[in-house]
A and B are shown apart, each in its own frame.
Chain A
C-alpha cells in the first residue's frame, strides 16, 4: 500500500531553498514521518523525522501540517550535492527498521 504521495521530480536553483512536498492523508496517530535521500545508487541516507511538531537539524527542516496529512522537507540552501532521490516514509512507532520506500522525488539542483 502506498502510504505517501510525492511528485516524481523537481528542480531547484543552487543556493535557493528546496521545498519537497509529501502527502500522507491516511497517517495514523502513532506513525512518524521520516525523510531519507539516495544519491545515485548509494545507500539511503537519513535526513530527519518527526511526529507532529516541526523539526530542524543541520541538514534540513521538516514542516508537518496540523492535521498531519502532509509535510514538507526544506533544504534551506540547496547545493549541487543535494541532487538525489528523496523519500518520504510513514513509519509506525517501534517497528524496528521496516521502512516502506515509495518511488520518491528526484531533485535536481541546477547551477
Chain B
C-alpha cells in the first residue's frame, strides 16, 4: 500500500531535549516536505526536499533541521525544542512530475513542556 509513515504519532518532551520525528515513504517520490498545523493558522511548510541531499527552507524553518540522505526518508530534527513548537506535524511526499498530488502522513502531535 502506498503510504507516508510518520513516527511517533504522539510525543511529549521537555524544553531543550533533542528529538527526531521520522518520515518514510514507499512510493519512490522525489519531493518530500514537512508542515506544522496550528489552530487558526492552517498548515505551514517548514522544510522541503526536491531530491536526495537537496533541502530548502519553507515558510517557518526556525528551530528545525532536516536531512535527506536517502530518497525514502526525511527526518525532522528539533535540536532544542521549545514550547512554541508544540504543534501537529505532517510529512508529505509527491513525485517530481508536474500536475500531481501530494500524499500526507497521519501526523505527529508534539507537546513541549
Contacts and interface: CB of A to CB of B under 8 A. Distances in A.
B50 interface: yes
Interface string B32-60: 11010100111111001010000000100
B94 A96 contact: yes
B111 interface: no
Interface stretch (B63-71, B78-86, B95-103): B95-103
Interface residues of B, number: 32
A93 B102 contact: no
A21 B48 CA distance: 30
Interface string B1-17: 00010000000000000
B34 to A, nearest CB: 10
B94 A44 contact: no
A contact face: mostly helix, strand, loop, or mixed: loop
Interface stretch (A10-18, A60-68, A71-79, A99-107): A99-107
B68 to A, nearest CB: 13
Interface in A70-111: 87, 93-94, 96-104
Nearest to A47: B101
A91 B22 CA distance: 26
A103 B35 CA distance: 14
A103 B92 contact: no
A96 B100 CA distance: 8
A88 to B, nearest CB: 12
A111 to B, nearest CB: 27
The 9 closest A-B pairs by CB, nearest first: A43-B104, A96-B31, A94-B98, A97-B102, A101-B43, A97-B94, A46-B101, A101-B42, A97-B31
Interface of A: 32, 34, 41-46, 49, 51, 87, 93-94, 96-104
